[in-house]
Structure 1
Amino acid sequence: MNEQRDWQVEEAMERTGVVKEGHFILSSGRHSRRYMQCAQLLQHPGEAEGAGTAIADQFRGERVNAVIGPALGGVIIAHETARALGVRCLFAERKEGEMRLRRGFTIQPGEPVLLVEDVVTTGGSVGEVADLVENLGGRVVGIGAIVDRSGGEADFSVPFRSLIEQTIDSYDPADCPLCAQGVPVEKPGSRKQVKI
Structure 2
Amino acid sequence: MSITGERHGRSGAAARPEAGAASGAQSEAVPGVCTGRVPDGAADLDDAAVAGLLNQTGAHRYGHFRLTTGLHSDEFFLLARAFQYPEVLERLGAALAARLRRVLPAADAGQGGPAGSGPVAGTVGAVVGPAMGGVLLAHAVARVLGGRSLFAEKEADGSMRLKRGFALAPGEPVVVVEDAVTTGGSVRKTMEAVARAGGRVVAVGAVVDRSGGKADFGVPFVSLLCRDVAAFVPEECPLCRRGVPLVEPKRG
TM-score range, shorter chain: over 0.9
CA distance in 2, matches of 1:125, 1:162: 16
CA distance in 1, matches of 2:150, 2:74: 32
For 2:71, which of 6, 26, 30 is the aligned residue?
Answer: 30
Aligned-pair CA distance for 1:182: 2.1
Structure 2: runs of 5 or more not aligned: 1-36, 109-123
For residues 1-196 of structure 1, the aligned pairs below 5 Å read 1-6=37-42, 7=45, 8-60=49-101, 62=104, 63=108, 64-96=124-156, 97-191=158-252
8 Å contact kept, 2:64–2:244: yes
State the number of aligned residues: 191
Name the TM-score, length of structure 1 as normaliser.
0.92
User: Any idea what SS the aligned residue of 1:170 has?
Assistant: coil
The higher-RCO structure (CA 8 Å, 6+ apart) is: 1
8 Å contact kept, 1:4–1:50: no
Runs of 4+ in 1 over 4 A off after TM superposition: none
Q: Deviations over 1:10-55 (max 9, x none)?
A: 2211221221111101111110111111111111000000011111
Name the TM-score, length of structure 2 as normaliser.
0.72
CA distance in 1, matches of 2:222, 2:201: 13
Q: Deviations over 1:52-86 (max 9, x none)?
A: 11111122353111000000011111110001122
CA distance in 2, matches of 1:103, 1:135: 15
Structure 1: runs of 5 or more not aligned: 192-196
Larger Rg belongs to: 2
Which amino acid counterpart does residue 117 of structure 1 have in structure 2?
E
Q: Deviations over 1:105-154 (max 9, x none)?
A: 11111000000000011011101111111122110010001011112321
